[in-house]
Amino acid sequence: TPFLLAPGSSGRSAIDEAIADFHKYTCLRFTPRTNEEAYIKFYQGSGCSSPVGYSGYVNEISIGQGCGYKSIVIHEIMHSLGFYHEQSRPDRDDYVEIVWDNIESGMRYNFDKQSNIDSLGTPYDYRSVMHYGGTAFGIGRPARVTIKAKDKEHVIGQRSGFSQIDLEQLNLRYNC
């Protein structure tokens, strides 16, 4: 997959580290763009974001202020590769509870279930790089809990890198 770092972009080292992890743990390869029409463009936007799924044209990934960490870049690339948030799985209510009243105004859409997610037979992954942390978009300071594990044994979310199940899903989806 070709990629381009837009002029003035920040987070170059985090992007390089994230791509190195994709190369180390999957069969996916990212190469600097030459003249391809379809590519991933990293730019410095107002936050951390990416469309879900590869458009076949230009997929723009925002690596804005505070987003220059390897695991955040991995998370956004995963979106571009077609992965939704783990807590958006159709079966999520079997594993976690969403505390709707604690979510910031206008941010509830981030917790919507997506009926079209195919987890490829993998178990729910509390430790996925695609799972929000327990206080994501929580109101107040410190932020209130917005997601909690039903069994109380699992820590939810992390931003250190791929989980084993993340890698399993990636490698299944892309026939690695």
pLDDT range class, residue 159, cuts 50, 70, 90:
confident
Quick one: CA torsion of 165, 166, 168, 170, rounded to 10 degrees?
160
What is the span of the domain harbouring residue 93? 84-176
Choose one of 31, 56, 80: the last residue of a domain: 80
Same-domain pairing of 90 and 148: yes
pLDDT range class, residue 9, cuts 50, 70, 90:
confident
**Contact residues for 110 (Cβ-Cβ < 8 A; gap 6+):** 85, 103, 132, 136, 137
Please give the pLDDT value at position 1.
Answer: 83
Domain CATH code at residue 67: 3.40.390.10
Same-domain pairing of 88 and 75: no
Q: Is 23 annotated as a binding residue?
A: no
Q: Which is nearest to 146 in space by CA: 131, 159, 161?
A: 131
The stretch 40-55 carries a mean pLDDT of 92
Same-domain pairing of 91 and 176: yes
Same-domain pairing of 118 and 75: no
Same-domain pairing of 65 and 126: no
Choose one of 24, 53, 80: the last residue of a domain: 80
Quick one: CA torsion of 131, 133, 137, 139, rounded to 10 degrees?
150
**Contact residues for 122 (Cβ-Cβ < 8 A; gap 6+):** 165, 168, 169, 172
DSSP per position, 106-132: T-GGGG---TT---TTPPP-TT-TTSP
Please give the pLDDT value at position 23.
Answer: 97
CA dist 58 to 1, 4, 14, Å?
A: 11, 10, 20
More confident residue, 6 or 83: 83
Tell me, what DSSP letter sits at residue 7? Answer: T
Same-domain pairing of 72 and 101: no
Q: How many domains does the chain have?
A: 2
Same-domain pairing of 126 and 48: no
Same-domain pairing of 151 and 136: yes
Q: Is 154 annotated as a binding residue?
A: no
pTM for this structure? 0.93
Same-domain pairing of 46 and 127: no
More confident residue, 20 or 159: 20
**Contact residues for 4 (Cβ-Cβ < 8 A; gap 6+):** 32, 33, 39, 40, 41, 42
For the record, the structure tokens of 136 come out as 């994501």
| Amino acid at position 107, single letter | M
The catalytic residue positions are 76
Same-domain pairing of 37 and 97: no
Q: Are 36 and 2 in contact (CB under 8 A)?
A: yes
Same-domain pairing of 96 and 167: yes
Please give the pLDDT value at position 61.
Answer: 96
